[in-house]
Amino acid sequence: MEHPENNSQYKGLVVNSGIEQPSIVNPYLKQMHRKRRQMLSVQEFVDGILAGNVTVLSQAVTLVESVRPEHQAMAQEVIERCLPYSGNSVRIGISGVPGAGKSTSIDVFGLHVLERTGGKLAVLAIDPSSEKTKGSILGDKTRMERLSVHPDVFVRPSPSAGSLGGVARKTRETIILCEAAGFDTIFVETVGVGQSETAVHSMVDFFLLIQLAGTGDELQGIKRGIMEMADGIIINKADGNNIDKAKLAATQFRNALHLFPASESGWTPQVLTYSGFYNIGVKEVWDMVYKYIDFVKANGYFDYRRNEQSKYWMYETINEHLRDSFYNNPRISGMLEQKERQVLGGLETSFAAAKDLLDTYWREIGK
Ligand code: GDP
């Protein structure tokens, strides 16, 4: 409506007619939203990964980590198509308790490896506490200052959802994608708390255990069987007035290793001291790693171990899916608490309760 003061009869001040106000909602918002959520096709994922496009690789890893069934189905297809292009890397597991110097060491190790072999490096992580911490303990970009800004390095924190088995499977699938994208060295980092080492061990060619002198970890390590998994034990912080203590610890580890049966690979695990912070002895650590790789490639153990790992992951994946299917079944989850009470109250034996639950489950999925 025309403003009354603009009427030609109006004698007061003339007011210009206003301009049309734009909508407060950005008309392009919908389009932008759609664009942001637009998902690549399987073909686009595969093409991008094989071309070494890190943005696409990163998106594919997000897809692998997604819990949505449609994402999972798509991720499986992408992995399947990338599989023939994978396998051409050296996979190194790196473990140690918090404070052992993993991130400091990985930063230095990564640069050393890149200088030595060229190529590209991916740093992945399996963080058993990631469900709570959202994967912030390991694989954090800020923890590896130089690698995180290096153009040939892909750093990815631990997947954060699900059980340790689930998290580990996603990391293993990520290895396949990274290899297809041309990464020829893969580091998989984990915290030294037991179970997660087994998971990392099951997906790497060389398992490197970072230890400290005089923390009492030596014995704990033996107890948990972690030392048995190690292909190399390296004692960090061998610098300043800590050098003698580190050397002593190395001797203790060497002695302890003698108590173990010979490893399947025919390789005798070595114990070295080094300092990640001062970059002392780093070359020797990697001389050891590459010596091992040459050794097991020559005697056939390299391929044998990878085949065994593929088998292991097939069964792990089956177990995981069966478990999920069982516990996520609404009928079962509705019964569990009551069954638990009955067992605790001595009204039913554990075995009878388990059998009843399983029978119910078979009936449910048979429907
Ligand atoms: P992470 O928790 O295993 O990742 O350990 P960090 O790499 O964060 O290291 C823990 C602490 O140990 C930091 O304060 C580091 O500066 C220190 N540190 C790491 N490597 C060395 C080393 O070789 N020598 C010494 N003296 N300190 C180190």
* CA distance from start to end of the chain: 68
Q: Whose CA is nearest to atom 26 of ligand 1?
A: 237
Contact 121, 110 (CB under 8 A): yes
Q: Which residue has the higher pLDDT, 17 or 122?
A: 122
* Shortest-distance atom of ligand 1 to CA 97: 3
Lowest mean pLDDT among 191-200, 225-234, 352-361: 191-200
pLDDT value, residue 135? 47
Separation between Cα atoms, residue 96 and residue 103, nearest integer Å: 10
Under the banding of pLDDT at 50, 70 and 90, the label for residue 280 is very high
Query: What is the per-residue burial (b if ≥16 Cβ within 10 Å, else e) of 2-38?
Result: eeeeeeeeeeeeeeeeeeeeeeeeeeeeeeeeeeeee
* Shortest-distance atom of ligand 1 to CA 242: 26
**How far, in Å, is the centroid of ligand 1 from the Cα of 104?**
6
Under the banding of pLDDT at 50, 70 and 90, the label for residue 224 is low
Q: Which residue has the higher pLDDT, 355 or 227?
A: 355
Separation between Cα atoms, residue 320 and residue 79, nearest integer Å: 18
% of residues, the chain, pLDDT over 70: 84
Q: Whose CA is nearest to atom 9 of ligand 1?
A: 101
Packing angle of the helix pair 301-327, 282-299 (nearest 10 deg): 90
pTM over 0.75: yes
pLDDT value, residue 168? 87
DSSP 3-22: -GGGSTT--S---PPPPPPP
pLDDT value, residue 256? 84
Residues with CB under 6 A from ligand 1: 96, 98-104, 236-237, 239, 275-278
* Shortest-distance atom of ligand 1 to CA 278: 23
% of residues, the chain, pLDDT over 90: 57
* Shortest-distance atom of ligand 1 to CA 210: 3
Q: Please write the tens of the pLDDT for every residue from 91-146.
A: 999 998 888 899 999 999 999 999 999 999 999 988 876 555 554 556 565 678 89
Q: Please write the tens of the pLDDT for every residue from 54-69.
A: 999 999 999 998 888 8
Sheet holding 270-273, edge to edge: 153-155, 121-126, 185-191, 90-96, 206-211, 232-235, 270-273
Q: Please write the tens of the pLDDT for every residue from 158-209.
A: 877 567 777 888 999 999 999 999 999 999 998 866 677 888 888 999 999 9
Exposed, middle or buried: residue 266 (CB in 10 Å: 0-12, 13-18, 19+)?
exposed
Domain boundaries, the chain: 39-85, 86-299, 329-366
1 has pLDDT over 60? no
Place of tokens 């052992």: 100
Under the banding of pLDDT at 50, 70 and 90, the label for residue 22 is confident
The neighbouring-strand residues paired with 191 are: 96
Contact 241, 205 (CB under 8 A): no
Q: Whose CA is nearest to atom 27 of ligand 1?
A: 237
**How far, in Å, is the centroid of ligand 1 from the Cα of 247?**
18
**How far, in Å, is the centroid of ligand 1 from the Cα of 276?**
8
Q: Whose CA is nearest to atom 7 of ligand 1?
A: 101
**How far, in Å, is the centroid of ligand 1 from the Cα of 189?**
15
**How far, in Å, is the centroid of ligand 1 from the Cα of 228?**
24
**How far, in Å, is the centroid of ligand 1 from the Cα of 173?**
30
344 has pLDDT over 90? yes
- The type of residue at 359 is D
Question: Which DSSP letter does residue 158 get?
Answer: P
SS3 assignment, position 68: coil
Q: Which residue has the higher pLDDT, 136 or 353?
A: 353
Contact 210, 102 (CB under 8 A): yes
Rg, Å, the chain Cα set = 28
Q: What average pLDDT does the segment 245-252 reach?
A: 91
CATH superfamily entry for domain 86-299: P-loop containing nucleotide triphosphate hydrolases (3.40.50.300)
Q: Out of 1.20.5.170, 3.20.20.70, 3.60.20.10, 3.40.50.720, select the CATH number for domain 39-85.
A: 1.20.5.170
Q: What average pLDDT does the segment 153-157 reach?
A: 91
